[in-house]
Amino acid sequence: MENTSFAKETAAVNTEFLSLNPSTLEVIGEVENTSADEIDRKIKNAKIAQKQWSARSDAERKEILLKVAEALQQNSKHLAEWITREQGKPLSGPGSNFEMQACVGWTQVPASLDLPEEVVFEDDTRKDILYRKPIGVVAAIAPWNWPLMIAIWQIIPSLRMGNTVILKPSEYTTFSTLEMIKVINSVLPENVLQVVTGRGEVGSYLTGHPEIGKVMFTGSIATGKKVIEASAKNMARLTLECGGNDAGIILPGLDLSKHIENLFWGAFLNMGQTCACLKRLYVHENDYENVVKALSDYSANIPMGNGADENNVLGPIQNKMQFDKIQDLLNDAENNNADFLFKGQKPDQDGYFIPITLIGNVDNGSRIVDEEQFGPVLPIIKYKTLEDAVEKANDSENGLGASVWGDELEEAQKIAAQLEAGTVWINQHGAINPFVPFGGAKKSGYGVEFGVEGLKAVTIPKVISIKK
């Protein structure tokens, strides 16, 4: 395969990238770009291993993956500490230990599911049977926000259905991911799961490789478009999750005492660095002051700092690029006379810390509302009518998730049906489940993950038609 373009790209940038602890800014290590020749070699080995892996019985693959889940469970403390050190999320609360338990669960569930052959048509003259066959070699591009959990979402269903996987972790969270791959590969046969490392050019070369049959990607819209362009070279099937700018609508008169905890974590899970976090909150003008006070009071009691301290449940922004982006949006809001309704205490230490911030006197058309902030900042927008709230909630190029908060479930469901998103939650936000399909609308991507539908997404349908 021609490697000239890749060689030119790697020559134009530093071949190494420093991974930092975002709480202390200590250097964890240097991340090297995997060479084009090495990527070619890994793909060749993956193709060979895939024939052997897919030849195993369905029951055998399920049994091996359940052993992977056991290995992840046994090493969860070690891996959680790595997540906290490199990604930044705290060990406590819905942090690194939580992420590791999700890794175990999202391994067990695909291993427990079945995708049997299906007779799709039969009469006196013919019988048509639909089978699901593996695609081949899957390229998985994992992000830095949930580096181990989202990698598991990509790896395990692919392996379950007989594919092999080559994973490229984010350059920001490479070492924690490598630690997890060591654990998984202590169980798997050789070359069924491999890793390449480095910056975007490594992912670009991998996803455009002619021997890649499927790409699973989680990241930005801009990079998602590059993955789509790369797939023109190999016609790889795609599952793309390209972020969200999720809206939440609080129906008039909501009893906040029942919902404030879920509302807070819906917005600020992982410091807001979650694609399906609540990032725009629409509140009726008569309830605005009560909602602001309730969220401010709750936020004031949430400790932030180095995630290695188990007293903390909020941590830093993962990297300087994202830190600067959030600061830019905050500066823009301030320059355009937004109200800073609440601002938490910033830890007195090094690290990419931004305190919980609630912003008012903004509306659609403000950058802080229109752009996905991906951080601990929540704009709260007043509305007069529910029709107005729905229109504003839908006024976005994103459509990953949304939520409706209301005491009357029937009314909440009517509003939920009008929102343009892949998932709409009621009285919760971001409550994903390994049995329930998850995917986006609009520019938030296409394809679904999780459950039986997620297994189908990493297969090729094959029909055998029999004339009687």
Assess whether 118 carries a catalytic annotation: no
Residues 86/134, Cβ–Cβ less than 8 Å:
no
Instruction: Tell me if residue 423 falls in helix, strand or coil.
Output: strand
Bridge partner list, 134: 459
- Choice among 103, 242, 275, 277 that is catalytic: 275
Distance CA 45, CA 190 (A): 9
CA atoms within 13 A on the CB side of 286: 7
Write down the residue that tokens 């029951």 correspond to. 59
The set of residues, in sequence order, having a beta carbon less than 8 Å from that of 204 and lying 6+ positions away, is 9, 226, 230
Smallest Cα–Cα separation from 143: which of 77, 227, 28?
Answer: 227
Q: How far is CA 318 from CA 14, 217, 295, 371, 456, in A?
A: 21, 19, 24, 19, 33
Strand 193-195 to 423-426 pairing: unpaired
- Choice among 86, 99, 171, 241 that is catalytic: 241
Distance CA 69, CA 407 (A): 39
Smallest Cα–Cα separation from 380: which of 301, 302, 291, 294?
Answer: 291
Q: What are 324-328's contacts with CB under 8 Å, separation 24+?
A: 325/373, 325/374, 325/375, 326/354, 326/373, 326/374, 326/375, 326/376, 326/377, 327/354
Alpha helices per DSSP H over 375-426: 386-393, 409-416
Distance CA 179, CA 81 (A): 11
Distance CA 61, CA 67 (A): 10
Write down the residue that tokens 């609009």 correspond to. 442
Assess whether 275 carries a catalytic annotation: yes
In sign, the C-alpha dihedral spanning 244, 331, 271, 253 is: negative
Give the pair of three-digit tokens for residue 416: 């939920």
Q: Which residues are catalytic?
A: 241, 275
